[in-house]
Amino acid sequence: MIGSLDGRVALVTGCTGGIGNVIAASLAEAGATVVGADVAASAPDFTGAIARSSYLQLDVTDEQAWQGAIARIDADHGRLDILVHVAGIVVVERLANTSLEQWRRQMAVNVDGPFLGTKAAADLMARTGADLPHGSAIVIISSVAGLIGSPLHTGYCASKGAVRLFAKACAMEFSALKQKIRVNTIHPSGVKTGMVDHIMQRFVEEGFFPSVEEALAGMAPAHPIGRMADPIDIAKAVRFLVSDEAGYMHGSELVVDGGYTAQ
């Protein structure tokens, strides 16, 4: 049983997406006060525990917006215990057809986002972490694409590999500076969200599969555990990593992939 997050304040980016929504709800259910953030002007109608959360419009590629978001959380709550970088995009394209603009946009959301957010939040999270038994906690949702390669994903793999090492370097630096902030990454494989539907559609368009249905049918057996992940599988791993139960996890990569990369 993972401990309660009562009294903790959490910021979750990408909170209107398939995985971010469930992470935000899961942290709220564990007792955290959740601030959800996404690029959209307003939040969709959330139900359950997440309905109690506040919402911030935040483009994670915008440094000023990050500074404003953290200043507002400091003013409203005076602390930030948990930061989960979930916002991300995927470009599914052959290398030869990938434009520099697509490459840069993907890097901006997937890499600049965690960089700018971690930079903006570090002082407040160090202040908050100083009074916690195991410090405050940052989690970046990377991917198995940050560990292994995949066709049509050259830029995505580069971006997810970049944040894996960014997290480890932040962990080393925060410890060297005696700032009590734990930093870890999570590496999911296929998770049932709109992102996977889009990836399958692109594989069909590029001639890898005859139909989206057949592409999706191949996903479950590709995972030794026999199914793709549900967003809650990733949310449970986040909830563990940000809790005091994971107080000794720092600079680590938690692979949540149903055995996909163990083959």
Ligand X SMILES: NC(=O)c1ccc[n+]([C@@H]2O[C@H](COP(=O)([O-])OP(=O)(O)OC[C@H]3O[C@@H](n4cnc5c(N)ncnc54)[C@H](O)[C@@H]3O)[C@@H](O)[C@H]2O)c1
> Using an 8 Å Cβ cutoff, are 255 and 223 in contact?
no
- Measuring CA to CA, which residue among 223, 174, 166, 232 is closest to residue 20? 232
Q: Does 36 bind ligand X (CB under 6 A)?
A: no
SS3 content of the chain, % helix, strand, coil (to 5): 50, 15, 35
Q: Does 163 bind ligand X (CB under 6 A)?
A: no
Window contacting ligand X (CB under 6 A); options: 27-35, 88-96, 125-133, 215-223:
88-96
Least distance from C-beta 142 to ligand X, angstroms? 7
Distances (CA, A) of 224 to 202, 212, 229: 24, 21, 12
Window contacting ligand X (CB under 6 A); options: 47-55, 82-90, 114-122, 247-255:
82-90
Window contacting ligand X (CB under 6 A); options: 1-9, 37-45, 129-137, 244-252:
37-45
- Measuring CA to CA, which residue among 190, 191, 192, 173 is closest to residue 181? 173
Q: Does 14 bind ligand X (CB under 6 A)?
A: yes
Binding pattern for the stretch 126-145 against ligand X, x by CB under 6 A and - elsewhere? ---------------x-x--
**Known catalytic residue at 260:** no
Q: Does 221 bind ligand X (CB under 6 A)?
A: no
Which of 61, 118, 179, 243 is the binder for ligand X (CB under 6 A)? 61
Measured distance CA(164)–CA(146) in Å, rounded: 7
What residues are labeled active site?
156
